[in-house]
Structure 1
């Protein structure tokens, strides 16, 4: 009888190599660019946190279920095969009130999503371990009164900071060589200093709705060479002075809706081309040609809906130009309720 034992052992070897934990199990497949050295900690060591590999084959940590600051710190004292993470998530946690300076051990993160919770204080150095890796920080919808803004200049890769809906009082000193998007809306900041953005040269988008701004210092936004969008809605602005927002070729939107604005200087938005100005729900009674003509001539869009416009001769320049009329929000009405687009031009022949 022919001996087929060689075939049996050959098949066994092939199956062993293909199966994890086999005779010659490998963590590198022919499609891999290199060895995978990321591995989550043992689940029981980090409970109630949960570690998982995401679709980019990097690690995420979810600690939404921690019951105290001490428990969170204990998790990050466990044995970690790798301390390099993509995202830390803590969502809807009502027990964690302080993110302590040593809470995250030696772990590093690219993103922080600590949201919809009861967090009140982020201590100095609590995030500093990720100064070389952090790209996005999201801490919105908490109760934060103190945040380590003084550490931001160490974060050389940080692109966005989102602290909306907290209790931050007083506009922070911001120093960041890389920050592009800033969300501070719905905090009792109380004002916007003229030097607010002197040390954030890469800012693209600034969101400061409902923060208690009653006036703008001319030139506050100057020097932001890439500025795209500015949100200043739901504040207490009454007048927009010259250089309220210094624009760039990239500036697309300025939102000052839901303020108390009754007057706008002709040079309030120097440099704005093809941009949109949302000035709806304010106290404007007129749309002077000297203020708004350049915006519409330069391909811009104006939304003055919800203002008590008197619709006297001051709007005739818009009604006589079909292009201009098309570039004003179609739902804009006069104080008497008539829409601008429905007004009879014949009634303005005397203007």
Structure 2
């Protein structure tokens, strides 16, 4: 008896291509399900006109959030109606909280600014705030940004500075521009600050000394500064530019003007009638400049040097100091 081997033919067959397509479809389904929990996985998130990686515009209005080509984030808040509006905006779900710059301006906030306004995670490299009618500001407000903050500009008639008493707590801070209702400049110490501008709205006392070891430029013009104590600048040996114009200075104590690297000193528009006698030594090289035309005090009268013969020519003194200092 002959047995015939029957060939089995399935009711349907799956080609390799079809099998691959089915697996791709399953993968898409998985991604779509994840997108519900992770918004940025959704195609709609990328195709919508929103300013990703910022929140929806309507959620933070009137603030605006945007990113530059290098993905630095910027937050700009203007014309806020109340302090609570500012608080509510920073309670919105932000995809990212590390900002290149925060600016808050021209707002009527009338409350005390504290770190609680910016919940855990917010960090700012630059902070600019002016004309906001803050009642006060906690000096520790921006300590959460201590590893990022390099620039601070703050202008409001608050009694306190927006910086901690221990400026070393902000080790990356390079420049500060501050205008508040102060009567004393803090005796700050910092190894990072390079440029400092302060304007006080009251008659102002100057600390002695100001220990800013890397300070290059100090601007205290229009500060109602009453005096400059002896050795005020010995803690800032790299100081090159000092602006004391439009203050209330009537004189300088002997030893107040002691510098090692100063190139420019502006003490115009004060009530100065006399200047301290300066002893001829290495400490006056800053005063002589490279030539008579570049002397920092060229427009100030009654500057006397004990080694000056009265001729008003300082070339011989410069030559000696260049050789010996």
Q: Which of these residues, 266, 280, 285, is aligned with residue 255 of structure 1?
A: 266
Give the match for residue 219 of structure 1: 231
The whole-number CA distance in structure 2 between the counterparts of 1:116 and 1:315 is 53
The whole-number CA distance in structure 1 between the counterparts of 2:296 and 2:186 is 32
Q: Which of these residues, 258, 265, 271, is aligned with residue 276 of structure 2?
A: 265
TM-score normalised over the length of structure 2: 0.70
Give the match for residue 133 of structure 1: 148
Across the aligned residues of Structure 1 and Structure 2, the Cα RMSD in angstroms comes to 3.5
Aligned-pair CA distance for 1:152: 2.9
Decide whether the 8 Å contact of 2:186 with 2:207 is kept in 1: no
Give the match for residue 301 of structure 1: 295
Give the match for residue 120 of structure 1: 135
The answer for unaligned runs of 5 or more in structure 1 is 1-20, 28-37, 278-293, 325-351
Decide whether the 8 Å contact of 2:175 with 2:195 is kept in 1: yes
Secondary structure in 2 matching 1:178: coil
The whole-number CA distance in structure 2 between the counterparts of 1:302 and 1:135 is 30
Q: Decide which structure has the larger Cα Rg and report it.
A: 2
Q: Which of these residues, 191, 206, 212, is aligned with residue 177 of structure 1?
A: 191
Secondary structure in 2 matching 1:129: helix
| Residue 264 to residue 205, structure 1, CA distance change in 2 (3 Å) | same
Give the match for residue 16 of structure 2: none
Aligned-pair CA distance for 1:296: 7.0
Aligned-pair CA distance for 1:186: 4.2
Give the match for residue 209 of structure 1: 221
Decide whether the 8 Å contact of 1:245 with 1:270 is kept in 2: no
Aligned-pair CA distance for 1:171: 2.2
Give the match for residue 288 of structure 1: none
TM-score normalised over the length of structure 1: 0.65
Aligned-pair CA distance for 1:295: 5.3
Give the match for residue 47 of structure 1: 61
Decide whether the 8 Å contact of 1:177 with 1:202 is kept in 2: yes
Secondary structure in 2 matching 1:88: strand
| Residue 306 to residue 73, structure 1, CA distance change in 2 (3 Å) | same
Decide whether the 8 Å contact of 1:48 with 1:66 is kept in 2: yes
1:130-165 Cα distance to aligned partner (Å, 9 max, x none): 11100000013x21212243253211100111113x
Secondary structure in 1 matching 2:58: helix
Relative to its length, the structure with more strand (as a share) is 2
| Residue 24 to residue 113, structure 1, CA distance change in 2 (3 Å) | closer
The whole-number CA distance in structure 2 between the counterparts of 1:149 and 1:23 is 43
Give the match for residue 99 of structure 2: 85
Structure 2 residue 237 is the aligned partner of structure 1 residue 243: no
Q: Which shows bigger deviation, 255-264 or 231-240?
A: 231-240
The answer for unaligned runs of 5 or more in structure 2 is 1-39, 47-51, 317-325
Decide whether the 8 Å contact of 1:149 with 1:173 is kept in 2: no
| Residue 247 to residue 303, structure 1, CA distance change in 2 (3 Å) | closer
| Residue 317 to residue 83, structure 1, CA distance change in 2 (3 Å) | same
| Residue 270 to residue 230, structure 1, CA distance change in 2 (3 Å) | farther
The whole-number CA distance in structure 1 between the counterparts of 2:115 and 2:203 is 25
Give the match for residue 6 of structure 2: none
The whole-number CA distance in structure 2 between the counterparts of 1:100 and 1:226 is 34
Decide whether the 8 Å contact of 1:111 with 1:135 is kept in 2: yes
Aligned-pair CA distance for 1:83: 0.6
Aligned-pair CA distance for 1:244: 2.0
